[in-house]
């Protein structure tokens, strides 16, 4: 197998996965991301103040270091859990 054939095979295996957080499309070449990575890439910072929930089954990811296996077109919801200022 030539070097270019190997690269093409690796590229096919690493096809970008499209997923959504609060309706906004995200893309990654990784098959697994941590909750922290998903939240940060989607702009939800600091990730420690957000709860990530998988829409399909309602699973809540409370540990920001947990690795999530991603699937094409998977949908998540980020919910703010941090302190809210009072007047």
* Confidence at residue 82, expressed as pLDDT on a 0 to 100 scale: 94
pLDDT at 18 over 70: yes
**48 secondary structure, DSSP code:** G
pLDDT, mean of residues 40-45: 98
What confidence tier does 5 reach under pLDDT thresholds 50, 70, 90? low
pTM, two decimals, is 0.81
CATH assignment of 13-80, among 3.40.50.2300, 3.10.20.90, 3.40.50.11900, 3.40.50.10490: 3.10.20.90
pLDDT at 4 over 70: no
pLDDT at 8 over 70: no
pLDDT at 9 over 60: no
- Using CB atoms within 10 A of its CB, is residue 12 exposed (0-12), middle (13-18) or buried (19+)? exposed
* Confidence at residue 7, expressed as pLDDT on a 0 to 100 scale: 56
């Amino acid at each position: 197998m030539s070097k270019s054939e190997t690269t093409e095979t690796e590229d096919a295996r690493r096809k970008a996965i499209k997923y959504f957080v609060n309706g906004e499309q995200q893309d990654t070449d990784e098959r697994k991301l941590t909750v922290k990575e998903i939240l940060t890439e989607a702009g939800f910072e600091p990730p420690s103040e957000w709860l990530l929930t998988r829409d399909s089954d309602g699973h809540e990811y409370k540990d920001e270091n947990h690795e999530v296996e991603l699937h094409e077109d998977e949908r998540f919801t980020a919910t703010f859990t941090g302190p809210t200022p009072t007047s």
